[in-house]
Structures are given as C-alpha cells and as structure tokens.
Amino acid sequence: MKTIEVVAAVIMRDKQVLATQRGYGDLQGRWEFPGGKIEFGEDYKAALSREIQEELDVQITVGDFLTTVEYDYPNFHLIMHAYQCELLGGFHLQEHSAACWLNLETLYDVDWLEADLPIVECVKSLIV
C-alpha cells in the first residue's frame, strides 16, 4: 500500500477552528483541516506554509506541533502531522468548495474525514 505523508493546519480564531470541505478527488465533499503533501527535502513547517498559500491564498504563522495521525484509507496509508497555525490575513478558497469556523458546540456538525477525527479531539482542549 502506498504511503502519503502530509501536514495539516489547525487554524484557530476566537475559540473556533477552521474546517475546509474537499472540492476534488475520491474524498470530495468531506471535511478536513487544510494542508497537503510534503515535497522532497521540505521540512514540515515550510510545507504547511506553502500548502496553505496554495489552498487558501494566505500566509500563516506555523506554531506548535499538535499530533501525528496515521490512518489506512482503502487505497493508501496516510501519515498526517498537525500544527497550530494563525492566519496573517483573510483567506480565499482555491481548492476547497467551502470553509467554516467551528466552536466546541459545532465541532462535529461537519462530516470529518476519518484521519482528521483524532485532530478534532486534540482541538477540543484548545477551544475550551
């Protein structure tokens, strides 16, 4: 099985976290933390900054490491490294079909991808 290693941004604002809806691929329509693949020779924080610039057309500050999640989807094994991040301006969706800010009460109102659920659990302690 192919292994894909990615980084994910947990973007917080006023006790809320940003969720994005995939606009493409087999998992289209499901919700995730924005981010993407790490290029050869790229460190995690640089990859995350680049991916968020590409996906949300905004710069971020990459902060503390939160967790690493490993999950087996039917066609690949995913390794995802999540970091707390801060937006440095307004964002514009480039690849996602929607985005929303979720608080503690609405955190599970979207259809999260399975690999993102352990990160959602980490986020609960950040937005209390």
Q: What is the pLDDT of residues 93-109, one digit of tens each?
A: 999 999 999 999 999 99
Q: What is the pLDDT of residues 5-16, one digit of tens each?
A: 999 999 999 999
pTM value? 0.94
- What separation in angstroms does the CA of 56 have from each of 10, 33, 36, 90, 100? 13, 12, 12, 9, 13
Residue 90, SS3 per DSSP: coil
CATH architecture of 2-126: Alpha-Beta Complex (3.90)
Residue ranges per structural domain of the chain? 2-126
What distance in Å separates the CA atoms of residue 32 and residue 53, rounded to the nearest whole number? 16
Q: What is the pLDDT of residues 52-94, one digit of tens each?
A: 999 999 999 999 999 999 999 999 999 999 999 999 999 999 9
